Amino acid sequence: MNTKLALAAIALWALPAWAGEAPFRLAPLPYPPEALEPHIDRQTMEIHHGRHHRAYVDNLNAQVASQPELAGLSLEELQGKISKFNAAVRNNGGGHYNHALFWQLLAPPGKGGAPSRELGAAIDRDFGSLEKLKALFGQAAVGRFGSGWAWLVVTPGGKLAITSTPNQDNPRMDVVEQRGEPILALDVWEHAYYLKYQNRRADYVAAFWHLVNWAEVSRRFAAASPPPAR
């Protein structure tokens, strides 16, 4: 056995017992951790993804031992049934879903494109303009007391709406007031911005608009919207 194989064997042996069947996994970031600079710094991304997000995944997988029905659910399905589970599943299942989504909704500065024609029309219809959407979303993000998230969602009625949730809750959960399909998200936990922005959450929220992956937001909008009436 060569050295690499031997090391791999040892690494497998050292994993916790549930790891062989751990249903949830941490995907790599879709860009290098420094790609969002100067708006979000490399160290924040490394800690946020590699430690905070990883902990949500590990803690969620640890719950599978006592709640085997968890293993049969996709991450998306779990959100809609979150009321059936304990607080650890709600916090870590939400944390995993929210972060996995958040990374995809960001792009390096100048790489995020613009809202699709259809999304742009819906933004004008429901908010008046993209600038007004940004102002209202920013108010939701800055106004969320303590830790939580701001969201742009497609409601069950097919409208765009802005909402915010505490902790790791999200609009897919069957426990929140304003439900919908999230198409844009912003993490306003201090761990998301404190190293660079300290207490200046509003500056972090303003910088976020340089990083929005509008191509991905538009894709999610199209997938979440009912087909146009004929």
Determine how β-strand 181-187 pairs with β-strand 160-166: unpaired
Distance CA 167, CA 149 (A): 7
Of 181 and 187, which CB lies nearer to Mn ion in the complex structure? 187
CB neighbourhood size of 134 (10 A): 17
Dmax over Cα atoms in the chain, in whole Å?
66
Binding mask 43-72 for Mn ion (x = CB under 5 A): ------------------------------
Provide the minimum distance between the beta carbon of 87 and Mn ion in the complex, in angstroms, as a whole number: 18
Could you tell me which stretch among 81-89, 133-141, 145-153, 183-191 binds Mn ion (CB under 5 A)?
183-191
Size of the site for Mn ion (CB under 5 A): 3
Rounded to a whole number of angstroms, the minimum distance from the CB of residue 49 to Mn ion is 9
Q: Which residue in 103, 137, 189, 197 binds Mn ion (CB under 5 A)?
A: 189
Q: Which residue is nearest to Mn ion (CB)?
A: 187
> For residue 116, with 0-12 CB atoms within 10 Å meaning exposed, 13-18 middle and 19 or more buried, which class applies?
middle
What is d(CA 82, CA 95) in angstroms, rounded to the nearest whole number? 12
Residue among 115 and 148 whose Cβ is closer to Mn ion:
148
Q: Is 197 a binder of Mn ion (CB under 5 A)?
A: no
Asked if 30 and 107 count as a contact pair (C-beta separation under 8 A), the reply is no
From the CB of 193, what's the least distance to Mn ion, in Å? 10
Decide if residue 187 touches Mn ion (CB under 5 A): yes
Report which DSSP code applies to 31.
S
Stretch near Mn ion under the rule CB under 5 A, chosen from 24-32, 69-77, 117-125, 191-199: 191-199
Least Å distance between CB 196 and Mn ion? Answer: 14
Q: Which is nearer to Mn ion, 100 or 160 (CB)?
A: 100
154, 199, 200, 205: which is closest to 180 by C-alpha? 154
Among 28-36, 112-120, 123-131, 190-198, which window interacts with Mn ion (CB under 5 A)? 190-198
Q: How would you label 91-111 residue by residue, b for 16+ Cβ within 10 Å and e otherwise?
A: bbbbbbbbbbbbbbbbbbeee
Closest approach, Cβ 31 to Mn ion, in A, equals 17
Q: How far is the CB of 52 from Mn ion (least distance, A)?
A: 5
Adjacent-strand bridge partners of 162: 152
Which tokens sit at 214? Answer: 């509008």
Q: Report helix, strand or coil for 26.
A: coil
Residue with Cβ nearer Mn ion (149 or 221): 149
Residues that bind Mn ion (CB under 5 A): 187, 189, 192
